[in-house]
Amino acid sequence: MKLIFDINGGDNKSEIIFGAIDASKEYNVEVVLVGRENLINEILKDIEYDKEKISILNAEENIENTEEPAFALRRKKDSSIVKGLKLLKEEKDAAFISAGSTGALLAGGIFIVGRIKGVKRAVLPTVIPGLQTSTMIIDSGANMDTDPELLKEFALLGETFLKEYYKIKNPKIGLLNVGVEEGKGNELTKSTYALLKESFENFGGNIEARDVTNNDFDLVVCDGFDGNILLKSIEGVVEFISKKLFGTIKESPLDNGTKENISKYLMMKFKNLDSTEVGGTILLGIDGNIIKAHGNSNRNAIKNAAKYAINIHESKVINKIKENMEA
């Protein structure tokens, strides 16, 4: 398998390169670094790596988060996203990993790689840990404006993904809303509620944001605007609690040995809440293995995004989605 990394995108270019090299060593895969060749070579000169497994595809341009995605794709032909996605399109057994512009990655996935037949919009599914198991939010940031039919499509994509990749036989579907009653919400959620109720036997109704981590539902459906706010709110609360907790331990009158033991125990327990342990998420609905990583990803996050891409490839989940959507 070949892993293609967007080096120009993201905040920490050297960390992306380090993570890509780590992935090549640990998972024994071929790696292509797409970005400014001079910069990449400057960083690689101080790293030990298998030169037969690492290659560079020069790309001088980068698409910024502030740019209009479709326009930037047309104008910046020498960008790492454009060149990386074109390479992905040519390769049969490959994945593209980027910490760059979500909008450009989404637009490039659609226009360069192509959507799965029957899919109108690609989505970002994000799994968050809960009290017992995990819950998937879909969409978590790809589509700001939707309609009931699109949300139904998101539910179908998420349901298939949970069945085929996570092996959940009959995932329970919920709709993110301001209340649990059927008549709650705006026109979008009211209409979507009726459509999901009609279309899915496993639709369980509305769910409020505060209950997402209770694991009452396997899949929570929403537009990308609300999903991204929900996701970042959860991340912010986790960060606040962890800083507050570790700060309290540090300031406590306990002896240093006890403080260290408590901190180590809590770090172990908090590990599944660390976004770097996940690395990224698939751009679901595209006819190719595209992984979106956090913009501030470190080498550990990039390495884990690579492992996730490999798992996606081996599960053949994209083929399963193609079969379901085309049917």
Per-residue pLDDT of the chain (327 residues; tens, 9 = 90+): 999 999 999 889 999 999 999 999 999 999 999 999 999 999 999 888 888 999 999 999 999 989 999 999 999 999 999 999 999 999 989 999 999 999 999 999 999 999 999 899 999 999 988 878 899 999 998 999 999 999 999 999 999 999 999 999 999 999 999 999 999 999 999 999 999 999 999 999 999 999 999 989 999 999 999 999 999 898 888 888 888 888 998 899 888 899 888 888 887 776 666 655 667 899 999 999 999 998 889 999 999 999 999 999 999 999 988 888 777
Residue-level length of the chain: 327
How far apart, in whole angstroms, are the C-alpha atoms of residue 159 and residue 169? 9
Q: Is the dihedral of CA 15, 18, 21, 23 positive or negative?
A: negative
CB neighbourhood size of 152 (10 A): 18
How far apart, in whole angstroms, are the C-alpha atoms of residue 181 and residue 162? 26
pLDDT the model gives residue 96: 98
b/e code 69-108 from CB counts within 10 Å (16+ = b):
beebbeebeebbbbbbbbbbeebeebbbbbbbbbbbbbbb
Which residues sit opposite 84 in a β-bridge?
A: none
pLDDT the model gives residue 132: 81
Overall pTM surpassing 0.95 (yes/no):
no
Q: How far is CA 266 from CA 211, 242, 262, 272, in A?
A: 23, 9, 6, 11
Long-range contacts of 234-242 (CB under 8 A, 24+ apart): 234/128, 235/275, 238/270, 238/273, 242/266, 242/270, 242/273
Nearest Cα neighbor of 221 from 120, 132, 128, 125 is 125
pLDDT the model gives residue 272: 61
Which residues sit opposite 293 in a β-bridge?
A: 280
Q: How far is CA 197 from CA 161, 191, 200, 205, 280, in A?
A: 20, 10, 6, 8, 31
Nearest Cα neighbor of 284 from 49, 77, 46, 106 is 106
Helix ranges restricted to H, 120-206: 148-164, 187-199
Q: Is the dihedral of CA 156, 158, 164, 170 positive or negative?
A: negative
Task: Report DSSP state, residue 167.
Answer: -
pLDDT the model gives residue 273: 62
